[in-house]
């Protein structure tokens, strides 16, 4: 091929250049496949850790996978960079990893929690952040674990953060988590359908109120809520 495009004979020098190009290309290919293997192993470990955190919890099926997809959808619609979208899709899975420290009698309690039980339950974001730690690859996961129960109006926990004090990943996760929790049967409530869930998130029901959510995240939800229903259907069970 090279010889055909050349207007002179291929020399030994040309051949050595081509050889070194081939060697470099093969080297780059092997590095690329090693990187993709490492990324696969990282994603696998994240899934395993996320599943572990569900061991004591009630059966929430594919909840962790669905919230990752809702978060990625919202982040994309909010115009976040592709890297943010990919990171939240994976790292949102570990939002409740701190529940591993909460007794299963509390997690699976069919009735209302007592004040004391509530206090314990509200510790799971701090536990989660501690488990995930400070590694730079897990920055967003730690952020989400710590802030996914904070509310835009400042009424959430554990630190009663308000507005933009809450990282965007936590604001996105909060809405995604609530949509999915409302859609599913939980020990303390029946499952709701998509229109009823949207009604509660968009208009409020006294317990969940629109003021709990970042207005921009809420607007993105409103506009794309049919895609939430599609994700739920695709990943239910």
Our answer to whether residue 236 is catalytic in this structure is no
Nearest approach in angstroms of CB 237 to Fe ion is: 16
Nearest approach in angstroms of CB 230 to Fe ion is: 19
- Cβ contacts of 206 within 8 Å, gap of 6 or more: none
**Interior angle at CA 50, CA 166 and CA 220, nearest 5:** 40
Nearest approach in angstroms of CB 94 to Fe ion is: 10
Of 54, 69, 76, 96, the residue at the interface with Fe ion (CB under 5 A) is: 96
Name the 3-class secondary structure at 221.
helix
Contact 158, 123 (CB under 8 A): yes
Cβ closest to Fe ion, residue 14 vs residue 47:
47
Cβ closest to Fe ion, residue 96 vs residue 150:
96
Cβ closest to Fe ion, residue 96 vs residue 214:
96
CA atoms within 13 A on the CB side of 111: 2
* Residue 177 contacts Fe ion per CB under 5 A: yes
Nearest-angstrom CA–CA distance, 64 and 31: 31
Name the 3-class secondary structure at 54.
coil
C-alpha dihedral (12, 13, 15, 21), degrees to nearest 10: 160
Q: Which stretch binds Fe ion (CB under 5 A): 12-20, 76-84, 90-98, 150-158?
A: 90-98
Catalytic residue among 29, 77, 83, 99: 99
Q: Which stretch binds Fe ion (CB under 5 A): 16-24, 40-48, 93-101, 187-195?
A: 93-101
Q: How far is CA 211 from the centre of its chain?
A: 22
Nearest approach in angstroms of CB 149 to Fe ion is: 6
Cβ closest to Fe ion, residue 143 vs residue 177:
177
By annotation, the residues acting in catalysis are 99
Contact residues for Fe ion (CB under 5 A)? 96, 177
């Amino acid at each position: 091929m090279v010889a055909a495009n050349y207007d002179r004979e291929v020399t030994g020098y040309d051949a050595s250049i081509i050889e070194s190009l081939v060697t470099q290309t093969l080297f780059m290919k092997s590095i690329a496949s090693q990187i993709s293997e490492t990324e696969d192993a990282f994603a696998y470990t994240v899934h395993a850790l996320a599943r572990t955190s569900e061991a004591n919890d009630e059966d929430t099926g594919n909840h962790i996978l669905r919230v990752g997809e809702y978060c990625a959808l919202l982040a994309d619609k909010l115009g976040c960079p592709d890297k943010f979208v990919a990171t939240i899709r994976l790292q949102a899975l570990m939002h409740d990893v701190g529940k591993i420290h909460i007794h299963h009698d509390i997690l699976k309690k069919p009735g209302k929690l007592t004040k004391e039980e509530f206090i314990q339950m509200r510790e799971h974001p701090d536990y989660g952040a501690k488990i995930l730690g400070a590694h730079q690859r897990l920055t967003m996961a730690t952020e989400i674990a710590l802030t996914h129960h904070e509310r835009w109006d400042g009424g959430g926990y554990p630190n009663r953060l308000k507005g933009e004090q809450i990282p965007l990943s936590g604001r996105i996760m909060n809405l995604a988590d609530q949509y999915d929790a409302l859609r599913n049967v939980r020990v303390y409530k029946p499952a709701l359908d998509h229109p009823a869930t949207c009604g509660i998130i968009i208009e409020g029901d006294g317990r969940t109120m629109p003021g709990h959510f970042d207005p921009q995240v809420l607007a993105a939800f409103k506009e794309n809520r049919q895609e939430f229903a599609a994700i739920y259907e695709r990943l239910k069970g």
